[in-house]
A and B are shown apart, each in its own frame.
Chain A
Amino acid sequence: MSPYYLFLGLGIWAVFGVLIANYAKRYMGIGMEDFFLANRKIGGFISAMTYSATTFSAFMMIGLVGLVYSTGVGAFGFEMTYLMFTVLLLGIFAPRFWSVGKRYNYLTPSEMLSHRYEDDKVGMVSTIVFLIMLIPYASIQMMGAGFLFYGLTGGQVPYMVGVIIMAVFSGFAALWAGMRSVSWTDAFQAITMLVSALILLFYIFYYIFGGPVNFFSTISSQNPELLQFTWNIEMFIGLSLPWAFFALTNPQVSQRMFVSKDVKSLKRMIIFFSLFAFIYTIITSLFGFAIANYIPGLAVADEAMPALLSQVPTVLAVVIFVGIFAAASSTLGSVILTLSSMTTRDLAQPLGKNLSEKQQLLIGKSTIVLLVVVCIIFASLRLELIAVLSAMASGGLLVTAPALIGTFFWKKGTSQGALVSMLVGGLVTGSMFIFNIYPLGWWPSIWGFIVTIILYIGVSLATSPPERAEEFLEVVDEEMEKNGF
């Protein structure tokens, strides 16, 4: 494909993105809470769209499509498992995060941990875990853009040009007006993702298979192996378990439980996100089945979607390309904004002591630039390790789950329990992933999670809970009741 079309399509789309970000800036106030949480004034629809666009990265249109292409319906089950548990976790945790966030003015999930466990080190360690796990995950979004530009244009656009374009757009969305510009552009990007996917689905149904009925019957008769559940249980649980806890353990999404302007908005966020996720997951999974039938025999599963794009009309390919770019850039912008808020609030603030609001904001904005540069450097190296670390992200972040659950449901949970469980659990999971150790065939995330739970409970029982624990849980009950949950 000629680079001209890609740049034209992306350029037109990006102009709208920049205008939206700029419009968002008009409503910007002052201070950390305004920059990083949009002053907790985000409405229900925008909350839902930023939650959706942040959650769904380019993985859906490239990785999930490829996984269905190569392994069939098991990949769909894995992704639906994520959605089911996200709905359940949001039902349990969203009112609690939102209530205490408002009461104590928490900016980040790590700040909440520090306060509940009465120890800044808990927030610092969790922030370090989040940084280690999410910087490779952010870099892989840039790498995806680089490979996509390069692949679709037959090498006419160098890899690094794609990386830089992605970095500039996401960095701009985060820096321009913080959470306001990120969430508003996220909404635009979520709509782009869904509309472009629906257009492609329509094309596949009617132009390739001659109608939805023919599509389903063709796959049934010609690709029955893809409709059979062939995943072994170790792989299904190994992949599904970390994703089942994604809503709790990934700070870029859990921070969004703080931003809704009222209870009605929080409720709408969950409902609209569920609908978006349900439709988007079904569509992207169907793409995997369709490509397996239409373009069989690809050696690399992740090439399924790019291979399809090379065979559809140029205008459609450009629209889908923009949809994939939007998915990646919205995730990247949100991850960078969240990591910068935690670096400022949970690392710099406790270490620097008494930093003024202005100084914190300056550190936060500088961190956005720094993180973008770090991710560009990572992406430029194209290390195999980055792909491994990125795949490890959700498994690695699982080590924060016991401390987060204990925050709200176990008053005996202590800072020592939280610290030891995250540190040792993180080291165990990370080492097993890097050295490819799968005892008894079970995935590192499962072993890491078991170690984390045992350590959190064991160490907490052996130490004294902070005085604040009981008071914190009473405040949770009080605020929940006051807000009508």
Chain B
Amino acid sequence: MKISYETKDLVMISLVVAIVNVTVPYLILKDHYVYWVNFVFWTVLTLLVMFIGYMYIKDWGECE
């Protein structure tokens, strides 16, 4: 069984996202509400993950 570097990267990114998704809201943003900061945080983080996902899958099937 080979696990490609790309899959390993995605697993690592998942772990980082899991940590950031909990630590940032609880340690930094919990008492802030101005300018929709929590709302913006999750929106931006999700957009970032979607972009990473897109970059990861965009070349699928190219060597078919």
Contacts and interface: CB of A to CB of B under 8 A. Distances in A.
- Whether chains A and B associate is yes
Interface of A: 73, 76-77, 80-81, 83-85, 87-88, 90-92, 95, 216, 220, 224-225, 227-229, 233, 236-237, 240, 244, 262-264, 266-267, 270-271, 274-275, 278, 282, 285, 409, 411, 470, 473-474, 476-477, 480, 483-485
Given A87-B50, A88-B53, A278-B46, A76 B39 contact: yes
Given A227-B38, A228-B31, A237-B22, A95 B43 contact: no
B11 to A, nearest CB: 7
Contact of A87 (B30, B49, B59): B49
A87 B53 contact: yes
Contacts of B53: 87-88, 90-91, 270, 274
Contact of B25 (A229, A274, A285, A484): A229
Interface in B1-24: 1-4, 7, 10-11, 13-14, 17-18, 21-22
Contact of A484 (B4, B26, B37, B64): B64
Contacts, number: 122
B25 to A, nearest CB: 5
Given A270-B53, A476-B1, A228 B36 contact: no
Given A91-B56, A484-B63, A233 B46 contact: no
A77 B29 CA distance: 12
A85 B2 CA distance: 23
A91 B57 contact: yes
Given A85-B14, A229-B38, 16 more contacts: A73-B38, A73-B39, A76-B42, A77-B38, A80-B46, A81-B42, A85-B18, A91-B57, A95-B60, A227-B39, A233-B26, A236-B25, A263-B61, A267-B61, A271-B57, A274-B53
B50 to A, nearest CB: 5
A266 B45 contact: no
Contacts of B59: 484
Interface size class of B (residues with CB under 8 A): 35 or more
Contacts of A224: 33-34
A77 B18 CA distance: 12
Contacts of A227: 33-34, 36-39
Given A270-B57, A484-B64, A228 B33 contact: yes
A266 B34 CA distance: 40
A306 B11 CA distance: 41
Nearest to A226: B33
Q: Which of B17, B36, B47, B60: most chain A CB closer than 10 A?
A: B60
Contact of A92 (B10, B25, B32, B37): B10
A285 B39 CA distance: 10
B57 A220 contact: no
A236 B22 contact: yes
A84 B46 contact: yes
Closest A-B pairs by Cβ, 4 of them? A263-B61, A227-B33, A473-B1, A87-B53
A308 to B, nearest CB: 20
A266 B58 CA distance: 11
B25 A263 contact: no
